[in-house]
Amino acid sequence: MSNVLIIGAGGVGAVVAHKCAAVPEVFTNILLASRTKSKCDKIAEAVGGNRIQTAQVNADNVPELIALIERFKPDLVINVALPYQDLPIMDACLATKTHYLDTANYEPIDEAKFEYKWQWAYHDRFKEAGIMALLGCGFDPGVTSIFTAFAAKHYFDEIHYLDIVDCNAGDHGKAFATNFNPEINIREITQPGKYWENGAWHEIPAMSIHQPIDYPNIGEKESYLLYHEELESLVINFPTLKRARFWMTFGPKYINVLNVLQEVGMTSIKPVMYEGREIVPLQFLKAVLPEPASLAEGYKGQTSIGCQIRGIKDGKERTYYIWNNCDHAEVNQEIGAQAISYTTGVPAMLGAKMMLTEKWSGKGVFNVEEFDPDPFMAEIGKYGLPWIEEIDKPLPIEKY
Ligand code: NDP
């Protein structure tokens, strides 16, 4: 029996709400709160059965968050608002001694830089308060980190090379749209790429390294080396890694439009004066782009996200590939979501279940790969994200 507070009523928040509502034996009372209450109400209505209560909250405002938490008394807060809200929500959890979970690490609003340092700095305070924060429990970060922990636990003595491969081969029929919050997404892909090799980070110009990668049930797609936040904790938690990289697919049309937007200054986060007031071009762009949740209807095709790993077992070289494919139309049929929101929201619900049932417990701030992957891996398929593994077969990343 537990109370859970979900903050954020976007594409991911809707999935978390649906999925928590379907597990009443763990999530007894659910409150969905966000900046725009009408979006919470719409989701609550779609879930039905009076399972979801709703509230308005500005999650940048710590006293407002504390008042909401004191009123509803959640055992856990699931933060699926934006990365900017991570620290205020963690502050409110500390003040009220409430567990915390998120899917994306903190970013300062005025600098496109994502690092765990701000959130890891809460470790001692969470420990002293006797509460737990679970960071990055979506798909990537999240399941990709749990896949890596699962591989290291069951199949390798040492993992040496990790390539996280993220393909969205779906078609939403829009001229240009991002699959999760446009502002966060564009900040992520327009900053320099970075990968880990031989004990150091190597920075590259944005989108400058790319190659085709063959994805299961999809085929070859051009994939771009990006910096992605789970790399930061994985190279610390798996110190045998000699190299760790992250690849994401983008179609030529997406790249073209993004280039134009960048060249004309629309992706800038530096404020400009417009008709006597300051506006941030990227925030304005976000306002005219489709919301991630609105892409679900008519979205066709699949995502395929996984980990390709090379390492050593019993003195011999070993390869391992583990992945999940998720079909946009199928998950729209199930709960009216698109696959990117779905693949993020399902692990967030299951991570919350792991915490509330004490399969994963601790005092302090943790990344998902620090816990036993087995109970999570045993259940994620039944909640909609089954996985497939291949052992000692040629890795698609090494084909070229
Ligand atoms: P959306 O833009 O669809 O939703 C964000 C929600 O947060 C909106 O409902 C928004 O409210 C709300 N919000 C924003 N600011 C505040 C605030 N100050 N107070 C209260 N609510 C606020 O984004 P997504 O659902 O696509 O993404 C949600 C999160 O999931 C992001 O942090 C994203 O980075 C993360 N993510 C993680 C992934 C992973 O695999 N780990 C993959 C995809 C996303 P309003 O409706 O009023 O704008």
Distance 380 CA to ligand 1 centre (A): 22
- Residue 400 pLDDT greater than 80, yes or no: no
Task: Please check whether residues 130 and 149 belong to one and the same domain.
Answer: no
Task: Please check whether residues 73 and 163 belong to one and the same domain.
Answer: no
The residue that leads in pLDDT, 255 or 313, is 313
In a domain, 339, yes or no: no
Task: Please check whether residues 129 and 157 belong to one and the same domain.
Answer: no
Tens of pLDDT, residue by residue over 246-294, are 999 999 999 999 999 999 999 999 999 999 999 999 999 999 999 998 9
Task: Please check whether residues 152 and 256 belong to one and the same domain.
Answer: yes
- Residue 162 pLDDT greater than 90, yes or no: yes
In a domain, 378, yes or no: no
**Residues with Cβ within 8 Å of residue 204, at least 6 apart in sequence:** 192, 193, 194, 195, 225
* CA–centroid distance for 32 within its chain: 19
Query: How far is residue 202's CA from residue 209's CA, in Å, rounded to a whole number?
Result: 12
Tens of pLDDT, residue by residue over 5-52, are 999 999 999 999 999 999 999 999 999 999 999 999 999 999 999 999
Q: Which residues line ligand 1 (CB under 6 A)?
A: 8-13, 34-36, 39, 57-60, 80-83, 85, 103-104, 138-142, 180-181, 184, 291-293, 340-341, 344
Residue 232 sits in which domain range?
A: 143-334+384-398
From the CA of 292, give the closest atom in ligand 1: 3
Which of 12, 36, 107, 291 maximizes ligand 1 atoms within 8 Å of its Cβ, making it the mutation to test the pocket? 12
Give the CATH number for residue 302.
3.30.360.10
| Number of structural domains in the chain | 2
In a domain, 211, yes or no: yes
Task: Please check whether residues 35 and 97 belong to one and the same domain.
Answer: yes
* Percent of all residues in the chain with a pLDDT value above 70, rounded to a whole number: 100
Task: Please check whether residues 41 and 162 belong to one and the same domain.
Answer: no
Which of 57, 80, 230 maximizes ligand 1 atoms within 8 Å of its Cβ, making it the mutation to test the pocket? 80
- Residue 359: per-residue pLDDT: 98
Domain edge (last residue) among 135, 168, 202? 135
From the CA of 60, give the closest atom in ligand 1: 18
Instruction: Write a three-state SS string for the chain.
Output: CCEEEEECCCHHHHHHHHHHHCCCCCCCEEEEEECCHHHHHHHHHHHCCCCEEEEECCCCCHHHHHHHHHHHCCCEEEECCCHHHHHHHHHHHHHHCCEEEECCCCCCCCCCCCCCHHHHCCHHHHHHHCCEEEECCECCCEHHHHHHHHHHHHCCCEEEEEEEEEEECCECCCCCCCCCCHHHHHHHHHCCEEEEECCEEEEECCCCCEEEEEECCCEEEEEEEECCCHHHHHHHHCCCCCEEEEEEECCHHHHHHHHHHHHCCCCCCCCEEECCEEECHHHHHHHHCCCHHHHCCCCECEEEEEEEEEEEECCEEEEEEEEEEEEHHHHHHHHCCCHHHHHHHHHHHHHHHHHHCCCCCCCEEEEHHHCCCHHHHHHHCCCCCCCEEEECCCCHHHCC
Q: Specify the pTM.
A: 0.96
